Amino acid sequence: MTGTILNFFAIITGGLIGLLLGNRFSEKIRLTIMNALGLFTMLYGIRLFTQTNNAMVVLVSLILGILLGEWLKIEEALGLLAIWFEKKFNKNNNEDSNRFIKGFLTTSLLYCIGPMAILGSIQDGLTGDFNTLAIKAVIDGISAIAFASSLGVGVLFSSVIVILYQGIITLLAAQIQFLMSDVMLSEVNALGGIMLVGLAVSSLLEIRKIRVANFLPGFLIVPFIVLLFKYLGIY
């Protein structure tokens, strides 16, 4: 859990620095920062998608994951959690509720979707090697500065989701170590790439609202689709 704990504190630290800096930025500067982050996230997501060896695996996993996510109403659940955090810990802040929720949802998804979260957590759990998560912690901490300066205090609370998400993966690492194979990781990364593009379009660039959180069950489905396609001889 060492890597995940480092990641948790990196987001908190970066977020606090971002809040201090954000007060000095005009609305135009914050908007420009968000646009830059959106473009970067989109291009990084496209890069991840190109790692797929079989696009049909990603498509089938995505569709089934969306159906499960919509049924479970994951996006709504995260939204309610954000509202609870906002009411519980943001009482004396003049920041509007929508901005708080957007900051929480956007960064929670961003910090959990990337391949380093899954791969690093498995490595930490299996071997105690937290180097990947340490690198991710630095990246997340730096990005938290930019996000918090634009989206506010909600970014800090994404650290709770990160420690739960990565912590669970670390504790279950022995059971999910098959994700370490190059084949599985390439498809997981590709699916994550689509989610990152969706996140950029929906939350960062605000082109069109997409319930990206409801895509998350696709990560659980990918391994089974890969195994099925291999059994059918189409992978």
Cα gap 117→3, rounded to integer Å: 10
pLDDT in the model for residue 60: 95
Q: What percent of the chain has pLDDT over 90?
A: 34
Q: Is the pLDDT of residue 162 over 90?
A: yes
**pLDDT digit string (tens) for 179-221?**
667 788 889 889 988 988 998 898 888 888 889 989 999 988 9
In this prediction the pTM is 0.82
Q: Domain range for residue 154?
A: 2-232
8 A C-beta contact, residue 192 and residue 114: yes
Residues with Cβ within 8 Å of residue 162, at least 6 apart in sequence: 4, 7, 8, 11, 108, 111, 112, 117, 140
Number of domains in the chain: 1
pLDDT in the model for residue 31: 81
Cα gap 13→222, rounded to integer Å: 34
| HSE-up of residue 187 (Cα within 13 Å, Cβ side) | 28
pLDDT in the model for residue 194: 93
